[in-house]
Structure 1
Amino acid sequence: MNDSLRAEALLADLPREGRGRLKVFLGAAPGVGKTYAMLQAAHAQLRQGVALRAGVVESHGRSETEALLLGLPQQPPLRLPYRGLELSEMDLDGLLADPPKLALVDELAHSNAPGSRHAKRWQDVQELLAAGIDVYTTVNVQHLESLNDRVRDITGVQVRETVPDWVLQEADEIQLVDLPPRELLERLRDGKVYMPEQARAAIDAFFSPTNLTALRELAMQTAAARVDADLDQRYRQLGQAAPSVLGRLLVGVDGDGEAERLVRHACRVAERRHLPWSVVHVNGRRAMDEQQRGRLQAALRLAERLGGEVVTLHGDSVARTLLDHARERRASLILVGSSTRRLRRRWFGRGLGERLLAAGAGLEVSVLDAAGAQPPAGRRVRIAPRWRDYLLAALAAACATLISLGLARVLELPNISLAFLAAVLLVAVRSSLGPALACAGLSFLAYNFLFIPPTLTMRIQRQEDVLTLLFFLLMAGLTGNLASRQRRQVQALRQAQGETTALLELSRKLTVAADRQAVLAVAEQQLGGWPDVQLTLLSRSADGQWCHEGGQRVELADTERVAADWAWQHEQAAGLGTDTLPSSRWWWWPLCGEEGPLLLIGLQSAQGTPLADERRRLIAALGQPLAQALARAQLAEELEAARLHGQTEELRSALLASVSHDLRTPLTAMRGSIDSLLALGEAIPEADRRELLEGTRDEAERLDRYIQNLLDMTRLGHGGLKLARDWVAPSDIVASALQRLRAVLAPLQVECLLPPQPPLLHVHAALIEQALINVLENAARFSPPGGRLRVALEYDEQELRFVVADQGPGIPEAERAKIFDMFYTAARGDRGGQGTGLGLAICQGMVGAHGGRVTVGDGLDGRGASLTLHLPLTAQPQAEDD
Structure 2
Amino acid sequence: MNERRPDPDALLRMLKDDEKTVDAGVLKIFLGMCAGVGKTYAMLEAAQRAKDAGIDVVVGVVETHGRWETEKLLDGLEVIPRKSVEHRGSSHADMDVDAILARRPQLVLVDELAHTNPTGWRHRRRYQDIDELLDNGINVYSTLNVQHLESRADDVERITGVAVRERVPDSVLAKASEVEVIDITPAELLQRLSEGKVYAKDRSIVALQNFFRKGNLVALREMALRTTAERVDTDLRSYRQRYGIEEMWPSAQSYLVAIGPTPHATRLVRWTCKVAQEHGARWVAAIVRRPGALSESQERHLQSAVSLVKELGGEIDWIDDDDVVNGLLTAAHRRNAVTIVVGKPRRGGLFSFVTGAGIVSRLIARADGIDVSVVAADDGESDDAKPKASGSYPMLIQSGPLAYVLTIATSVVMIGIGLLLLPTIGYQAVGMILLLYVSILPVLAPRGPVLVTAVLTAGAWDLLFIPPRFTLTIGRLEDQLTFTLYFITALTSTWLATRIRRREQVIRRREQRTEQLYALATDVNASSAVADIVDAIVQRTQQLLDADVAIIVRPDGAQDSDIQMYGSFTPDAKEYAVAMWVYDHSRSAGSGTETLPFATARYVPMSVNDRCVGVIGFRPRTSRTRSFEDPGVIERVVRQAAWSFERMRLNDSVSRVRQAEESERLARTIMNAVSHELRTPMASILGSASTLEEVVGDNLSDTQRQLVHDIRSSAERLDDLVTDLLDMARIDAGKVEVTQQPIDIRETLDASLGDFLPLKDGRKLFVEIDPPSPPDIQTDATIIRQVVRNLVGNAIDHTPPGTAVSITVAVRLEALAITIDDDGPGIDPTELANIFDRFVRGPRSTGSGLGLSIVRGLVEALNGRIVAGRSPMGGARFTVTIPLAPQ
Larger radius of gyration: 1
Same fold, judged at TM 0.5 (above): no
Q: TM-score range by the shorter chain?
A: 0.3 to 0.5
Q: TM-score, normalised by structure 2?
A: 0.45
